[in-house]
Homo-oligomer: A and B are copies of this chain.
């Protein structure tokens, strides 16, 4: 399939377009061209292969910054900027865990991001297993004194990814809740819909009023085994986690523009995040989003005449650890009124099935043909407005910039997310290009319009 896409693309990508004058016709032509365009695959393959993992503060993230500048340059973007901001970093060290009784068994784990380390010699204790987070929260104070708390709450597979909400809460807050009850360490079933032994990491957030205890995610079958053994008798686990932090670290947002032809000061901000967790190569999270939005903008940039407004792709420098878009918004308070709309691509590379726009957007005449343009891609326009533009653009949304959301099918996203299995081979080139097609068509229609998505004052 990879060969197929590239072969088509070689013939088509540089062909001059023969387009009708109407924005919807141009959007439809962009859509069709995107389906066989090689750019997104080339970008995602190059980033995951030549740069690899890109945790904030790592040498990989510095390579990624340079890669981003080169990629924007090579693809014809202008106004390329590298904007540094302060971001404390956390670096994983050697990690191990094993059941030590009733019999020795090595466990598959990943320390949670920002976890404190154990003492160098590790710690060993008996476990208390909870099959839900609610069960942990119901445990009385002091009931876990000297114990390792294990929460084995499964995650629900959903198309829109909303199962992440409940499961992610365990990861963020579980360690402090266990510590409040006396636990010396916190282990959790990975936030995962797969049945792989590979654990899934992600950040935790220590509460200010609880001891900071080491915390790690278990492979799903590992968590099940511990629960089944604990039903039969005492289970002891030894845990060793090493990590270092750099409170003086920095990160970078890198952006490039397809300059507007008539109103270049009006900016549509899109992008994905460049940083990634360390165990995999950050392919679905989020080299894919970087590639999809970059390729869509680049296709528009190749048109003989750019649309009215500027399309800006931002490769965000710290989504996994937070703070990118807040830093970005803070640095350009005076320009935010000209930011027309913002959105991210950050839920993998599987096909888009719905578009959520700002409230009342479909009343705009300029978008009248949008359903027709998106229909061949099997994308409907949701009746509800976009509740969230994505974590990459939270700082912009908080500053009042309207957001839209192209909803990707996340059914298999959390099989891979934040694990060593987040690698290039998980990306389906055909679905990747369906994403590019949707982004290119939608972006063009917004960029070549004068739509104002901001709510009007009551008349």
Contacts and interface: CB of A to CB of B under 8 A. Distances in A.
A221 B426 CA distance: 9
Contact of A103 (B60, B219, B424, B426): B60
Contacts of A8: none
B197 A420 contact: yes
A281 B228 CA distance: 13
A196 interface: yes
A104 to B, nearest CB: 8
A221 B225 CA distance: 27
Given A103-B52, A280-B197, A420 B108 contact: yes
A23 B426 CA distance: 51
Given A59-B103, A196-B196, A198-B196, A224 B424 contact: yes
- How many copies of the polypeptide does the oligomer hold? 2
A195 interface: yes
Contacts of A108: 420
B195 A425 contact: yes
Given A52-B105, A63-B103, A105-B52, A425 B221 contact: yes
A7 to B, nearest CB: 17
A49 B423 contact: no
Nearest to A51: B103
A53 interface: yes
Nearest to A225: B49
A197 B416 CA distance: 11
Interface in A157-215: 195-198
Nearest to A102: B50
Interface string A36-72: 0000000001000111110000011001000000000
A268 interface: no
A334 to B, nearest CB: 40
Contacts of A53: 105
B224 A425 contact: yes
A421 B60 CA distance: 29
Nearest to A106: B279
Nearest to A423: B221
A426 to B, nearest CB: 7
A196 B51 CA distance: 20
Chain A interface size band reads 20 to 34
Contacts of A225: 49, 281, 423-424
A425 B228 contact: no
A244 to B, nearest CB: 16
Contacts of A221: 281, 421, 423-425
A332 interface: no
Interface string A281-320: 1000000000000000000000000000000000000000
A111 to B, nearest CB: 14
A163 B108 CA distance: 29
A121 interface: no
A232 interface: yes
B49 A229 contact: yes
A424 B198 CA distance: 15
Contact of A195 (B195, B228, B426): B426
A220 interface: yes
Interface of A: 45, 49-53, 59-60, 63, 102-103, 105, 108, 195-198, 219-221, 224-225, 228-229, 232, 280-281, 419-421, 423-426
18 contacts: A49-B225, A49-B229, A49-B232, A52-B105, A60-B103, A195-B421, A195-B423, A195-B426, A196-B196, A197-B198, A197-B420, A197-B423, A220-B425, A221-B281, A221-B424, A221-B425, A224-B424, A225-B423
Given A50-B229, A195-B421, 5 more contacts: A59-B103, A60-B103, A221-B421, A225-B281, A225-B424
